[in-house]
Copies of this chain bind each other. A is one copy, B any other.
Amino acid sequence: MASPPRFDPRPIGVFDSGVGGLTVLVALAARFPEERFLYLGDTARVPYGTKSARTVAAYTLRAADFLLQRDVKGIVIACNTASALGMGALQAHAEVPVLGVIEPGAEQALAHSRGGRIAVLATRSTVVSGAYPGAIHESDPARAVQSLPCPLFVPLVEEGWLDHPVTATVAQTYLAELQADVDTVILGCTHYPLLKGMLEGLRPDLAWIDSAQAVAQRIALWFEHGVVARGARPADKPPIECVVTDDPVQFGRVALPFMGSIPLGSVEMVDL
């Protein structure tokens, strides 16, 4: 078997239904500055979290096809709903490695939990899929899991109401449903990490799991194990290029709070 090339200049594709996956993208770009990333946000059809399994799987496959046409060396499904409902079909279909956010998040939750129940806050479609309990039970079949749909968090985050009293009231309403033996909570939607400060403030006794770092850790393993070769980004190439299915200007505006210190490169519009 030929040894893999030492460097692979192709980008890593990162897919999300909209802007939420930028929380994962930013974690990856910060940790792997030598890589190029191609972010695809399906902003013309966002959100996925309220849509059916069949529709989400079809959208996820179309998005992956697009990224493969753009010659990515690997695909990260940053959207929890797409990971929950589209990964199976996608892994059978793609000729490059594919990573979702469910399994890394579940693993990180198990590492942080002191043996209590693990709660999953997620969109309704992710909850209905049972993907998180499934991933947790792969490692620990007896672990108690509570799934809690939090459908209003996405529109509140997209409004930018991160510190708004309404958002605090909604959060309190949802968290009141947590069972008493929960010790660890998975933020099972890429929008939710933007509320992590507020949620930790309401329940500082719980471990709050954001899968972005867990995903970055898995990508580090891709490189270590030679699943894909590292990049070697020239200084004049931007680390991030974005493709969206709706207005690029609107995307840029909503994306900014997610980006931290990472510069947002070009934003192109396509019809999927």
Give the CA-CA distance A165 to B168 in the complex, in Å.
12
A96 at the interface (CB under 8 A from B): no
The residues of B that contact A170 with a CB separation of less than 8 Å are 166
Asked whether A247 lies within 8 Å of B52 as measured between CB atoms, the reply is yes
Give the CA-CA distance A246 to B56 in the complex, in Å.
10
Within the complex, what minimum Cβ distance (angstroms) separates A50 from chain B?
Answer: 7
The residues of B that contact A247 with a CB separation of less than 8 Å are 51-52, 54-55
Asked whether A51 lies within 8 Å of B151 as measured between CB atoms, the reply is no
Give the CA-CA distance A246 to B47 in the complex, in Å.
13
Within the complex, what minimum Cβ distance (angstroms) separates A87 from chain B?
Answer: 20
Partner of A152, one of B52, B54, B156: B156
- Please report the total number of A residues contacting B with Cβ < 8 Å: 26
A3 at the interface (CB under 8 A from B): no
Residue of B with least CB distance to A44: B55
A163 at the interface (CB under 8 A from B): no
**Given A51-B43, A250-B52, do A165 and B169 touch, yes or no (CB 8 Å)?**
yes
Q: Which of A48-78 contact B (CB under 8 A)?
A: 50-52, 54-55
A158 at the interface (CB under 8 A from B): yes
Residue of B with least CB distance to A149: B159
Partner of A45, one of B45, B54, B159: B45
10 tightest A-B contacts by CB? A52-B247, A155-B155, A55-B246, A44-B55, A52-B246, A45-B45, A166-B169, A51-B246, A166-B170, A152-B155
29 contacts between A and B (CB under 8 A): A43-B51, A44-B45, A44-B51, A44-B55, A45-B45, A46-B50, A50-B158, A51-B246, A51-B247, A52-B246, A52-B247, A52-B250, A54-B247, A55-B245, A55-B246, A55-B247, A151-B155, A151-B158, A151-B159, A152-B152, A152-B155, A152-B156, A152-B159, A152-B161, A165-B169, A166-B169, A166-B170, A166-B173, A169-B169
